[in-house]
């Protein structure tokens, strides 16, 4: 089955995550909880009146606010938006599962493109690529050529290899690296999420990796939501231009509160925020960015 990423238009089924409470468990930290639920440490701490370096107590209740927009749609397969650090599993054109992921460092980026799951392996031996062996040598670490299954294997217990590239979707022995850019290009999934994903993914499963730091969508109840992430690899157009283009393409130019949209861009906190205008207008052009004074962009321009 060909992977078809449908056009970026407002759709009713566009939002995952939400607003709920979580009870702190043994070993939890703000970093660990942020990785588990796909929210920045600063946002998690601020939403709970804590300092980013605060210690947590077992049984402590935390408010988790982690709404994320679905950045596209597949009939069936896996969609990963690299700047968003989110993986979406589709079945029948609907989101069947969504999880935060860890991705490649800026100096070792995760690539984008269309692939398929080529292998499914439990407890895979890690064959260390020559490039990583060279990094080990340069860092003064013992150079390993392979690592057997076990507590020291960075692949964890589950591996979904992608056809044609030396990269895969896998578990990790460093769960705090999830929702961060720490890998050598592979896609890390939290140990508490990978078993379910592994059980559903099949050999031949389409996998689409995209690069969209800014996502705009309209929900079924009429709200306009905007989610903005840092352009960690420096590959995207300026966010105000991206917003103007997406709003024009979706016919939403007159429905945005542009001041709130500008604030969301400046914050780049990675959460879906409501930027609906209280009084929609019949507008055909994007205004200047009220915070930065970017040049006016006409509807339909890039």
CATH number, residue 49: 3.10.350.10
Q: Are residues 200 and 220 in the same domain?
A: no
CA atoms of 120 and 203, how far apart (whole Å): 7
Between 8 and 291, residue with greater pLDDT: 291
For 150, residues 6+ apart whose C-beta sits below 8 A from its C-beta are none
Q: Are residues 222 and 293 in the same domain?
A: yes
Q: Is 223 left (phi over 0), alpha (psi -120 to 50) or beta?
A: beta
CA atoms of 233 and 249, how far apart (whole Å): 25
Domain membership of residue 32 as a residue range? 18-66
Residue 249 has pLDDT above 50, yes or no: yes
Domain boundary among 66, 93, 122: 66
In a domain, 11, yes or no: no
Q: Are residues 152 and 258 in the same domain?
A: no
Between 10 and 219, residue with greater pLDDT: 219
CA atoms of 246 and 248, how far apart (whole Å): 5
- 226 pLDDT tier (thresholds 50, 70, 90): very high
In a domain, 8, yes or no: no
Q: Are residues 78 and 173 in the same domain?
A: yes
- 6 pLDDT tier (thresholds 50, 70, 90): very low
CB–CB of 86/101 below 8 Å?
yes
Residue 159 has pLDDT above 90, yes or no: yes
Each residue's pLDDT tens digit, 54-98:
999 999 999 999 999 999 999 999 999 999 999 999 999 999 999
In a domain, 9, yes or no: no
Kindly report the pTM of this predicted structure: 0.90
181-183 and 94-104: which strand pairing? parallel
Burial of 281 (0-12, 13-18, 19+ CB in 10 A): exposed
Which CATH number fits the domain that encloses residue 191? Answer: 2.40.440.10
pLDDT of residue 301: 29
Q: Are residues 54 and 182 in the same domain?
A: no
In a domain, 5, yes or no: no
In a domain, 200, yes or no: yes
DSSP state of 202: -
Q: Are residues 85 and 42 in the same domain?
A: no
Domain boundary among 42, 66, 90: 66
Q: Are residues 141 and 234 in the same domain?
A: no
Q: Are residues 28 and 126 in the same domain?
A: no
Each residue's pLDDT tens digit, 13-34:
689 999 999 999 999 999 999 9
Q: Are residues 218 and 180 in the same domain?
A: no
Q: Are residues 157 and 127 in the same domain?
A: yes
In a domain, 4, yes or no: no
- DSSP secondary structure string, 123-146? S--EE--HHHHHHHHHTTPPP-SE
The domain tally of the chain equals 3
In a domain, 145, yes or no: yes
Structure tokens at 120: 């499914």
In a domain, 1, yes or no: no
Mean pLDDT over 231-253 rounds to 94
Q: Number of H helices and number of E strands within the chain? A: 6, 20
- 3 pLDDT tier (thresholds 50, 70, 90): very low
For residue 235, how many C-alpha atoms fall within 13 Å in the half-sphere facing its CB?
13
Q: Are residues 218 and 286 in the same domain?
A: yes
What's phi and psi for 65, nearest 5 deg? -120, 105
CB–CB of 102/191 below 8 Å?
no
Between 111 and 222, residue with greater pLDDT: 111
Mean pLDDT for all residues in the chain? 90
Provide the b/e sequence for 165-196 (b: ≥16 CB within 10 Å): eebbbbbbeebbbbbbbbbbbbbbbbbebbee
Q: Are residues 202 and 91 in the same domain?
A: yes
Domain boundary among 176, 210, 244: 210
CA atoms of 290 and 110, how far apart (whole Å): 34
């Amino acid at each position: 089955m060909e992977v078809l990423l449908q056009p970026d238009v407002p759709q009713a089924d566009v939002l995952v995550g939400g607003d709920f409470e979580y009870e702190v468990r043994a070993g939890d930290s703000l970093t660990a909880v942020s990785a588990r639920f796909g929210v920045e440490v600063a946002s998690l701490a601020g939403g709970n009146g804590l300092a980013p370096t605060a210690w947590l107590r077992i049984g402590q209740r935390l408010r988790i606010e982690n709404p994320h927009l679905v950045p596209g749609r597949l009939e069936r397969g896996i969609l990963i938006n690299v700047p968003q650090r989110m993986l979406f599993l589709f079945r029948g054109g609907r989101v069947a599962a969504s999880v935060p992921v860890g991705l490649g460092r800026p100096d070792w980026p995760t690539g984008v493109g269309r692939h398929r799951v080529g292998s499914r392996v439990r407890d895979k031996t890690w064959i260390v690529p020559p490039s990583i062996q060279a990094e080990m040598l340069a860092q003064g670490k013992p150079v390993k050529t392979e690592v057997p299954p076990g507590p020291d294997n960075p692949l964890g217990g589950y591996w979904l290899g992608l056809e044609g590239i030396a990269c895969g979707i896998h578990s990790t022995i460093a769960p705090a690296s999830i929702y961060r850019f720490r890998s050598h290009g592979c896609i890390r999934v939290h140990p508490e999420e990978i078993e379910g994903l592994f059980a559903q993914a099949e050999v031949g499963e389409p996998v689409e990796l995209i690069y969209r730091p800014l996502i705009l969508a309209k929900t079924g109840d009429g709200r306009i939501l905007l989610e903005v992430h840092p352009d960690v690899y420096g590959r995207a157009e300026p966010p105000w231009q991206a917003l103007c283009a997406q709003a024009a393409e979706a016919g939403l130019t007159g429905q945005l509160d542009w001041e709130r949209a500008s604030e969301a861009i400046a914050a780049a906190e990675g959460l879906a925020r409501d930027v609906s205008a209280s009084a929609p207008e019949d507008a055909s052009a994007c205004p200047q960015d009220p915070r930065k004074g970017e040049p006016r962009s006409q509807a339909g321009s890039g």
